[in-house]
Amino acid sequence: MQAKQSVYDYYCKNGMKIDKILNEIDEQGDAHVGSSAQTPIREDAFELSDIEKVALINKDVKHIMETLGLDLTDDSLKGTPQRVAKMFVNEIFAGLNPERKPIASTFENKYKYGEMLVEKNITVYSTCEHHLLPIVGKAHVAYISKGRVIGLSKMNRIVDYFAKRPQVQERMTMQIVQELQKALGTPDVACVVDAKHLCVNSRGIRDIDSSTVTSEFGGAFKEKSVKREFLDYIKLDTIF
């Protein structure tokens, strides 16, 4: 009880300073500043097994819920910490684990297809790294073969892999392009992502209609005519 009181007293004395710091952190998050196209992962990130991570996160989620005043003996809540922990490690942040990276198998372009290949409307489910709220949208990916082609489902899997981690949309868009460039051995890759951020739609400004569009154009896609062709393909109605 004394410890809780001391924290309360500290806040009463320093509340304005704390609020200012939190506001500054919040503003930095909204600014989407990033140091590189690589996800910031510590060197010791994989020293713990997934099972160990689930156990630790379970305890942390339980502590958060109890701090919020929730009764974890209730039948509806008592399993929540474990469910959240497993979801974090095995699902929505599974893309942090390089062992889950899809094998980007490519094949010789024997049919000599030399035009643009576009895979559009790839579903994106990601998580904003500033508030840990969902990012939901579509990715449109294209490449021009330089002798190698990639299975269509691999493009979807690459998008999904980089989406399944705390993300900044700009970084995710770049990571998708860089991974496909590496796999295909060509700079001629492009990606456009159009997504809603619940950190904007459901909190803060609460603008439910806005979405964020990011793009990365490599090689030939930097040419105005090629870029225009790709963007025109995206606008085409899907047959089904």
pLDDT in tens, 127-156: 999 999 999 999 999 999 999 999 999 999
Question: Would you say residue 32 lies in a domain?
Answer: no
**In the chain, what percentage of residues exceed pLDDT 70?**
84
Residue 1 has pLDDT above 50, yes or no: no
> pLDDT by residue (tens digit) across 185-217?
999 999 999 999 999 999 999 999 999 999 999
Residues 6+ apart with CB under 8 A from 145: 109, 113, 114, 117, 184, 186
Q: Do residues 218 and 189 make contact, with C-beta atoms less than 8 angstroms apart?
A: yes
Q: Is residue 30 in a domain?
A: no
Residue 56 contacts residue 82 (beta carbons within 8 Å): no
Q: Is 182 inside any structural domain?
A: yes
At 53, which CATH number?
Answer: 1.10.286.10
DSSP 87-136: HIIIIITGGG-GGG-----EEE-TT---SEEEEEEEEEEEEETTT--EEE
Show which residues are catalytic: 128-131, 169, 197, 199
Measured over the CA atoms of residue 112, residue 240, residue 188 and residue 97, the dihedral's sign is negative
Q: Which domain holds residue 121?
A: 102-235
122 within some domain: yes
DSSP 237: P
Give the rounded percent of residues in the chain with a pLDDT score beyond 90. Answer: 81
How far lies 182's CA from each of 105, 177, 194, in Å?
11, 9, 23
Around Cβ 31, how many Cβ atoms within 10 Å? 9
In a domain? residue 3: no
Together in a domain, 78 and 176 = no
